[in-house]
Amino acid sequence: MADATASLRRKLWNPEARLAYVLIAPTAIFLVAFMFYPILYVFVMSFFRTNKLSDLVRFVGLANFIDRFHDQEFWWAALRSLIWTGSGVAVKFLVGMTIAVLLNVNYRGRKAARMAFIIPWASSVPISALLWQWVYHPEFGLLNHTLKISGLWTNPPGWLGAGFSAFVACMWVDIWVGIPFFALVFLAGMQAIPHELYESAHMDGAGGIRSFFSITLAGLRELILISTLLSAIWTFNDFNVIFILTRAGPANSTNILITSVYMNAFVDLRFDWAAVQSVITFLILTVVSVVYARFYFRQENI
């Protein structure tokens, strides 16, 4: 018994472990104060009625959750989040993959093209969103003007002014930011696939499309999984684009889960509702990130 405790002590408290704790302590303290404690507090808050200053007034159990579940707007926001994330990631993936394939072809100016493709990702999202606001301007914006004079779309919508088109317009900006990530990751993955594989497939009479599916996509499998999960989380979390372009309007039509947290709190001053939305969003994110972490560790082998 004494031996067991002594060996446990040695395991937890030897010079090497001690040094590790000292090195990690500053980060840990900051994380506890500004991340773990706030999460805990949000959980606590979700069981209380709050006043307009976000003070806890009285314990109400699950009443806030029941309130939210009875509110149609909550379900609409959840549905929008689902569509926003699902179709957003799908488009990012497809366009990103296309760009990666294009950049994997050898031609002069490929490096320059690669650099140009990165710009939407490299730019500051809030600033890009502001630029898009001007691009989308119904009367003086160059998007609709260009669509009209080129004959591509003679009667384009007013974009941010109406519900559905605003949702599409916001989604496009989020997609636009997220495309280069996929393109770069896939390109890097493609360049790691040995060239001999393609040559021998070619000898065996496999066409370009066949080798794309059986060599390229097969070789990228792990990468596709990891990058898709990562992109899904980012897309789901995109607050800036929506807030800057429409402030979740008009009439809530661009309100998704993540923006409704902010709107509940700082516009409606319903901090308890915001806490409920935070808790739900947190749980969703946790599930996805556990999956991500598992896949990451599996391929990294640590």
Partner 1 sequence: MRWQNRARWLAIPLTVVILLVLLFPFFVMISTMLKTGKDVYTSPPIWIPTHIEWSNFAAVWTQYDLASYFLASLIIALGATVLNTLLCVPAAYAIARLRFPGRKVSMYLLLMIEMFSPVIVIISLFKVVARFGLLDSYVALIVLDALFTVAFNTWMMNGYFRTIPKDIEEAAMIDGCTRVQTMTRIMLPIAVPGLVTVMIYAFIFAWNEFLFALTFISSKAKMPLTIALYNFVGRWTTQWQYLTMAAFLALIPVLILFYIIEKRLVAGLAGGAVKG
Q: The tokens of 214 are what?
A: 């059986």
Residue 50, classed as helix, strand or coil, is: strand
Distance CA 286, CA 233 (A): 10
Specify the DSSP element, H or E, that contains 187: helix 163-191
Minimum CB distance to partner 1, residue 247 (Å): 10
8 or 251: CB nearest partner 1: 8
- In this structure, what token pair is assigned to residue 24? 């990690």
**Helix, strand, or coil (residue 47):** coil
Asked if the peptide bond before residue 26 counts as cis, ω within 30 degrees of 0, the response is: no
Chosen residue from 5, 72, 154, 301 binding partner 1 by CB under 8 A: 301
3-class DSSP state for residue 57?
strand
Which residues inside 127-156 make contact with partner 1, applying CB under 8 A? 127-128, 130-135, 139-143, 145-146, 148-149
Cα 213 from chain centre: 27
Q: Does 66 engage in binding with partner 1 (CB under 8 A)?
A: no
Site for partner 1 in 184-223 (CB under 8 A): 184-185, 188-189, 192, 208, 222-223
Stretch that binds partner 1, among 65-73, 86-94, 125-133, 155-163 (CB under 8 A): 125-133
Considering only residues 30 through 49, tell me which ones interact with partner 1, judged by CB under 8 A: 30-31, 33-35, 37-39, 41-42, 45
SS3 content of the chain, % helix, strand, coil (to 5): 75, 0, 20
Query: Which part of the chain contacts partner 1 (CB under 8 A), choosing from 80-88, 123-131, 153-161, 162-170?
Result: 123-131
Residue 237 binds partner 1 (CB under 8 A): yes
Enter the tokens of residue 80. 């929008």
Taking the least distance from each CB to partner 1, the nearer of 167 and 184 is 184
One of 89, 91, 166, 179 touching partner 1 (CB under 8 A): 179
Q: Rule CB under 8 A: is residue 256 a binding residue for partner 1?
A: no
Write the DSSP assignment of 22-74 as a string of letters.
Answer: HHHHHHHHHHIIIIIHHHHHHHHHTTEEE-TT--EEEE-TTHHHHHHHH-HHH
Residues in contact with partner 1, counted by CB under 8 A, come to a total of: 108
Q: Is there a contact between 42 and 278 (Cβ–Cβ < 8 Å)?
A: yes
* Contacting residue, 103, 160, 166, 171, with partner 1 by CB under 8 A: 103
3-state SS class at 252? coil
Confirm if 68 and 74 have CB atoms less than 8 A apart.
yes
Question: In the set 90, 122, 168, 218, which binds partner 1 (CB under 8 A)?
Answer: 122
Site stretch for partner 1 (CB under 8 A), options 59-67, 81-89, 155-163, 279-287: 279-287
Give the residue, chosen from 106, 150, 154, 155, that forms a contact with partner 1 under the rule CB under 8 A: 106
- With respect to partner 1, which residue has the nearer C-beta, 87 or 133? 133
